[in-house]
Chain A
Amino acid sequence: MTGFDALIVGGGVMGATTALRLAQGGMRVAVIEKRALGTGASGVNAGTLSLQIKRAALVPYAIKGIERWRSTHERLGIDVHYRRTGGLTLAFTAAEAEVLTARMTERKAAGVPLEFVTTARAREIEPGLSANPVLASFCAEDGYASSTLTGRAYREALLKAGVAIHEGAPVTAIERGGGFRVVTPRGTFVGRRLVLAGGAWLAALGRMIGVEFPISVRVNTVSVTTRMPMAIHRIVGHAFGLLTLKQSDNGTMLIGGGWQGRGDPERGAVEVIPDNVIGNLRLALHAVPALASARVVRTWLGLEANVPDAMPLVGPVPGVDDAFVIGCVRGGYTIGPFMGELLADTVLGREPEMPIFDPARFNSLQPQKLSA
C-alpha cells in the first residue's frame, strides 16, 4: 500500500506537534481533522502554562512543555502570544493551606522552582491580590499563551514543514490491512502508520480499530470579561486547582479552573451550568477584588478526555501494529508540545527523551492477552 508514512487523526496540540516532529524526522505526514486545526480543546482552553498545577509525576514533562512554548516563536516562526508572568497559587483557609503545602512540597521535590510566600509577600508580588489568602506559592516560570491562536499558528508551521492538512474531514471508519485506510467524507487516506490524536473523541476513534479506550470526558468552563484597566500581572490559581486567572495584554480577564458544564463527544460541549459559572466567578473575585468592576461577556465550554488513573495515554495501541495514541494529558496544553515529540520519536523508532505513558497498562486494552 502506498500513501503517507503516517496519518494523524486530530489537529489539536497533540496531533499537530506529533505531525511536525514526524515530518522533521523525514516522514510524509497528513493531519486529518474533523473541523479545523485547533478548534477542539487546544483552541478553547484557558491557556494557562503553569508548573505549579501539574501532578508531580508530570512535572518534568511540563517543564519541557513550557520550554517548547517559550521557544515556539524562534523554532517555528509562529506566535501564540506566549507570556512568562510568574504565577501565584492561593489558599484561603487553613484547610486549603494544608493542601497547598502538601501538594507544592511534593511538586517542588519533583522539580518545580517554587517558593512558599506569606500573604504580604504575595501581595508584593501581585498587588492586585486581595488580603484573603492565608498562604501562597509562587513560581516564576508560570505564564500563559493565547489558545485561540493555536490553530492558526500550527497550521502555518505544519504547512511549512510540508505536512498535508485535511480539514473538515471527520474520520468515520478506519480499515486495516498492510497499513491503514482512513475514511472521511473528503476522501480516503492511506498510510503506513496511524496516530490517534482525537482528544475527547478518542473513544470513538479507538472503536474504529477495535479497541476500547477507558475514557471519560470532562466539560470545562471558561469565562472572559470585557477589557478593564490592568489589575494583575501574574497568573493566579487556587490550591485545589479550581481557579486559573489571568489578564491578557488587551485588558480582558480570563477565568477558568475546570468547573464543569454538560456535554459529551456526540453533542459537543453544550450546556453551561450557571451555578458553576457563578462559583468560578466568586472564587476569582475572592482572589482579585478589581474584578467586581468588570463585565462578563462570554462563558464557554470545552471537552477534555481522562483515563481512570488520570495519567496520559501516549504510546503504541496494544494489539494494533503501527497504531499509536496520544491524549488524556491533564494540563495538556502546557505539556502537549513535548508529548507530541515523545510520541513522534517512538513512532520514528528513536528512544524518547523521557518515558512515554504506555496504554498497555490498562487491562481493557489487551484484547490479545484476554483471548489467549
Chain B
Amino acid sequence: MKPGVAVIGGGPAGIGAALSAARAGLAVTLFDEQPGAGGQVYRPLPAPFAADSGPDAEVGRRLRAELAASSVDARFARKVWFVGPAADGYEVRAVGPEGAETLTAPRLIAATGTTERIVPFPGWTTPGVMGLAATTIMLKAQHLLPGANVVVAGVGPLLAAVAVGILKQGGRVAAVVDLAGVGEWAAAMPAMAARGDLLARGIGWVAQIKRAGVPMLARHAVVAVDGGDRVTAVHVAPVDASGRPSGPSRTIAADSLAIGHGLIPATEIPRILGAAVEYDAARGGWITRADAYGATTVPGLYVAGDGAGIAGAAAALEGGRLAGLAAARDAGVLPADRFAAESAPLLAASRRAARFGGAMARMMAIRPGLVAAIAHDTVVCRCEDVTRGEIDEAIGAGARDVNQLKSWTRCGMGPCQARICGDVVGELIAPAVGGRLAAGISTARPPLRPLPYHALAGTFAYDELNLPAPAPS
C-alpha cells in the first residue's frame, strides 16, 4: 500500500496525527529516532508539561496501546536525515537498525518538537550541568539522579517537575532558582485555569518542594558555576523581568545543576521544504506559519506540536490529531462534513490546552536581559568554542545576520548546527541589525541529524557508482 502520509516525530503530536490520519483511512508511516515503539511517548518529551506519573503516564499508556492496535507503520530507532520534494509528494530518507530507508508520501506531517534553550553563563559547559529536559529523561527513563545535591534553575513548569522528580527518587535539591517572579506566576493563573487539572498538579508540586524545605528563589538567575571536572558551586543573583542580573550574587554549594531557559521549536523540516516561518518570541521564537489545523504555506506539508509554536503536550496531542484530519481531508478520504464534525471538538480542546501552554510559553520566552548579560569571555557556541567577545567582534566588523556570523566565526557550524546556540546568537545580533527578523535564522540543510559517514555511504562497488561524465577539459 502506498503511504498516504509520513509523520516525523513520535511525541504526542506525531502520535495524535498518525492515529487520526490512519483512522480516517490514510496509510500512515511514522518515524522517530527514539528506540522503543511508543516507549518514549510520554517519557522525556522535550515537551514541557509532561510528568512522570499520574495522568500523563495514563495518556502515554493509552496512546501506545492505540498506536499498537492501529494500522500505523510506526518505525522507531530511525534517524530521518533527509526530506525533500518528490514528483508525487515528499521523499523521506532515514537510517535505522537495518540500514537506509526511503519512503515517498503525498503528504508530510512534521511533529519534531523542541530543543531546550540554555543562555550561556561562565561554567555552563562544566560536567554536571545539564538541561532540564535531559534531566527529565534521566529521571524517568533511567531512574538516575543528576547528582547528590542539585540546583534546579531556569524557567517554566519543568522547574517544579524536575525538582519533584529528584525529591521522589530520594535526591536532594539545593535550591529552585526561577527566572520568573511571583507576579508572573500570578498573572499566568487565569490562563492556566483553562486546564485546571494541570494547574492543580503544578500547585501540588510546589507544595511538595516547599514541604521538603527546598529554598525557592523567584526572579533569580544562575550567573556562574564553579568547578573543573565537576560542579562544586552555583552562583545565583537576583534579576529584573528581562533576566538582567540586578544585585549581588550568592553561592550555593551543589554538585550539579539542571537548567533550562525555555524551549525552541524545531523548524528544520518545514524550512528545508520552503515553508514560511515567522518570529514570535511568546511562542518560542521562530515558528512555522500554519493555520489552525497545522497546514503550512507549502501544499501537503503540516506541522503539529511544539515545533509549530510552544503550546505544551496537551495541546500537542490535539494539534496532532487536527493535522492528521487535515491531511486526510486534503487527501480526499475525509469528506468536509465529517472533517468539520470531527475537528470542532478537537479545536476547542486544543484551544483550551493552548491557553495553558501559551501562558507557560510566554513565561519561557527568551529574556533579552539575560542574553545581554552574557560575559565577553563566555563560550556561546560550545561545538566550535566561540565566545560572546568573538561574536561581538564580528558584529562590529559588519556581520548582518546569523548566517554571516556563522561564516565569519564558525559559530553554529558544529554538530548541533546552531540548534542549541542559534537562538541566543540571533538575540545577540538583533539589536545591531534592527531585530530578530533581520537577524534571520540559520539556513536548514540536511542531514537533519549528524550521521555516521558509513550509514550514508553504505557498502558499494566502485564500478557501480555511476559517476557523471567529466566536465569538458
Are A and B genuine complex partners? yes
Distance (whole angstroms) from the CB of A215 to the closest CB of chain B: 16
CB <8 Å contact, A271 and B85: yes
* B401 part of interface (Cβ distance < 8 Å): yes
Distance (whole angstroms) from the CB of B269 to the closest CB of chain A: 13
Contact code string A122-158 (vs B, CB < 8 Å = 1, else 0): 0000000000100000000000000011011001100
CB <8 Å contact, A103 and B453: no
CB <8 Å contact, A279 and B465: yes
Q: Which of A102, A106, A148, A296 contacts B453, CB < 8 Å?
A: A296
Q: A148-B408, A282-B457 are in contact. Are A103 and B467 (CB under 8 A)?
A: no
Q: How far is the CA of A103 from the CA of B470 in the complex (A)?
A: 11
Distance (whole angstroms) from the CB of A99 to the closest CB of chain B: 6
* A72 part of interface (Cβ distance < 8 Å): no
* B93 part of interface (Cβ distance < 8 Å): yes
CB <8 Å contact, B445 and A279: no
Contact code string B438-466 (vs A, CB < 8 Å = 1, else 0): 00000101110011111011101011011
* B398 part of interface (Cβ distance < 8 Å): yes
Distance (whole angstroms) from the CB of A332 to the closest CB of chain B: 13
* B339 part of interface (Cβ distance < 8 Å): no
Q: Which of B274, B463, B470 contacts A239, CB < 8 Å?
A: B470
Chain B residues positioned under 8 Å from A330 (CB to CB):
471
Q: A272-B82, A282-B457, A282-B465 are in contact. Are A296 and B447 (CB under 8 A)?
A: yes
Q: How far is the CA of A77 from the CA of B470 in the complex (A)?
A: 38
* A300 part of interface (Cβ distance < 8 Å): yes
CB <8 Å contact, A241 and B471: yes
CB <8 Å contact, B84 and A291: no
* A111 part of interface (Cβ distance < 8 Å): no
CB <8 Å contact, A149 and B407: yes
Interface residues of B in 412-439 (CB under 8 A from A): 413-415, 417
* B472 part of interface (Cβ distance < 8 Å): yes
Q: How far is the CA of A13 from the CA of B12 in the complex (A)?
A: 49
Contact code string A212-245 (vs B, CB < 8 Å = 1, else 0): 0000000000001110000000000001111000
* B195 part of interface (Cβ distance < 8 Å): no
CB <8 Å contact, B468 and A295: no
What bracket does the count of chain B residues touching chain A fall in? 35 or more
CB <8 Å contact, A282 and B407: no
Chain B residues positioned under 8 Å from A149 (CB to CB):
407-408
* A281 part of interface (Cβ distance < 8 Å): yes
Chain B residues positioned under 8 Å from A293 (CB to CB):
453
CB <8 Å contact, A92 and B453: no
Chain A residue total in the interface (Cβ 8 A): 59
Interface residues of B in 183-236 (CB under 8 A from A): none
Interface residues of A in 36-65 (CB under 8 A from B): 36, 38-39, 43, 55-56
CB <8 Å contact, B415 and A38: no
CB <8 Å contact, B400 and A156: no
Chain A residues positioned under 8 Å from B397 (CB to CB):
152, 155-156
* B378 part of interface (Cβ distance < 8 Å): no
Q: Which of A93, A242, A274, A278 contacts B84, CB < 8 Å?
A: A274
* A372 part of interface (Cβ distance < 8 Å): no
Interface residues of B in 77-121 (CB under 8 A from A): 82, 84-85, 91, 93
Q: A272-B84, A281-B457, A297-B415 are in contact. Are A286 and B447 (CB under 8 A)?
A: no
* A180 part of interface (Cβ distance < 8 Å): no
Q: For residue A261, which residue of chain B has the nearest CB?
A: B84
Distance (whole angstroms) from the CB of B8 to the closest CB of chain A: 16
Q: For residue A155, which residue of chain B has the nearest CB?
A: B398
* A67 part of interface (Cβ distance < 8 Å): no
Q: How far is the CA of A149 from the CA of B394 in the complex (A)?
A: 11
* A182 part of interface (Cβ distance < 8 Å): no
Q: A152-B399, A277-B456 are in contact. Are A241 and B470 (CB under 8 A)?
A: yes
CB <8 Å contact, A92 and B462: yes
Q: For residue B274, which residue of chain A has the nearest CB?
A: A270
Chain A residues positioned under 8 Å from B274 (CB to CB):
267, 270
Q: How far is the CA of A148 from the CA of B453 in the complex (A)?
A: 23
* B69 part of interface (Cβ distance < 8 Å): no
Chain A residues positioned under 8 Å from B408 (CB to CB):
148-149, 151-152
Distance (whole angstroms) from the CB of A117 to the closest CB of chain B: 20
Q: For residue A255, which residue of chain B has the nearest CB?
A: B453
CB <8 Å contact, A295 and B452: yes
* B70 part of interface (Cβ distance < 8 Å): no
Q: For residue B394, which residue of chain A has the nearest CB?
A: A152
* B267 part of interface (Cβ distance < 8 Å): no
* B473 part of interface (Cβ distance < 8 Å): yes
Q: How far is the CA of A79 from the CA of B404 in the complex (A)?
A: 16
* A168 part of interface (Cβ distance < 8 Å): yes
Q: How far is the CA of A291 from the CA of B454 in the complex (A)?
A: 8
CB <8 Å contact, A295 and B82: no
Chain B residues positioned under 8 Å from A224 (CB to CB):
413
Residue of B452, B457, B466, B469 ringed by the most chain A CB atoms within 10 A: B457
CB <8 Å contact, B446 and A297: no
CB <8 Å contact, A278 and B457: yes
* B403 part of interface (Cβ distance < 8 Å): yes
Interface residues of A in 320-334 (CB under 8 A from B): 330
Q: Which of B443, B445, B468 contacts A242, CB < 8 Å?
A: B468
**What would 23 A/B residue contacts be, using CB atoms closer than 8 Å?**
A36-B400, A36-B401, A55-B473, A93-B463, A132-B462, A148-B406, A152-B407, A152-B408, A155-B398, A240-B469, A242-B468, A267-B274, A283-B467, A286-B465, A291-B453, A292-B454, A294-B453, A295-B450, A297-B414, A298-B447, A299-B446, A300-B443, A310-B472
The 5 closest A-B pairs by CB, nearest first: A240-B470, A148-B407, A295-B450, A294-B453, A152-B408
Q: Apart from A149-B408, A274-B82, A292-B457, what 14 extra A-B contacts exist at CB < 8 Å?
A: A36-B404, A149-B407, A151-B408, A152-B399, A240-B469, A241-B470, A242-B467, A250-B410, A267-B274, A274-B446, A297-B415, A298-B413, A298-B445, A299-B447
